[in-house]
Amino acid sequence: MPSLFRRRGQEPNSTPKRASSGITCGAPGCSNDTALPCSYRDRRGRMCTVAFCPDHGATLYGEAYCRRHASTVQAIGELARDPNGRPDLNDRTPSLVNWIARELDQHIRALLASAARQGESIVVDETVRLSRDSKRNLRWERSWRLVESTGLVLKIAVTVSEEDDSLVRINVGSELVADGIPPWIARRRMGEDVDVAIDVAQRKLFYHYLEESIAGAVAEFRRGGGRPYAD
């Protein structure tokens, strides 16, 4: 499936060079005067105040965005059309959930396909949605469900709470089976830089931990014959 957004200037009918908008690009070191303001407005009515040129911005649904908020809008999908459904300006939570979910998607689909019994099918969230946990705290999540004619059999969810927007949690059924702060976020918090090879290795270890935790929980669910419900 093609990406929902492209860098401005890469759309099929765009001209090779945009005329000056009179606004200088906000990217460090870029002096292009073809920038457009980000169109993002959050649920409190606050507007993003940055502007970027075609090389450093993005276009989504015909609107100009900074890449950060383009990622947010892409993550929440149709919810972005509801002015009251958009996250706060500085809320990176939906983008993080979407990023992790994309990385785990094929693994989880394969797990559920292998675990599915006759009459069961897989339903997948294509975008991130706002929900509440068992304590009624707000969180953003993407989930995969194994369902049958009578309802839910098993749910796997990637969630991040608005209270801690860096801690990724994985739930299988009603159980929390893994959690952790992604290594790139932990490094950013500590102001650390690493070379590409170390970054790749750390990411692989993080996703391997999540995948192994999910696989073990799904296997245990089937061995036990239980039906943990979570929604």
- Percentage of residues of the chain with pLDDT beyond 90: 69
C-alpha neighbours within 13 Å on the C-beta side of residue 79:
20
pLDDT tens, position by position, 123-150 = 999 999 988 877 778 899 999 999 999 9
Q: What single string gives the DSSP state of each residue in 213-231?
A: HHHHHHHHHHHHT------
pLDDT tier at 106, thresholds 50, 70, 90: very high
DSSP string, 21-33: -SB---STT---S
pLDDT at residue 131, rounded to an integer: 86
**144 by DSSP, 3-state: which?**
strand
Residue 187: half-sphere exposure toward Cβ, Cα within 13 Å: 11
pTM of the model: 0.82
* Pair 85, 72: CB distance under 8 Å: no
Model confidence pLDDT, tens digit, residues 152-161: 999 999 999 9
Does residue 5 carry a pLDDT above 50? no
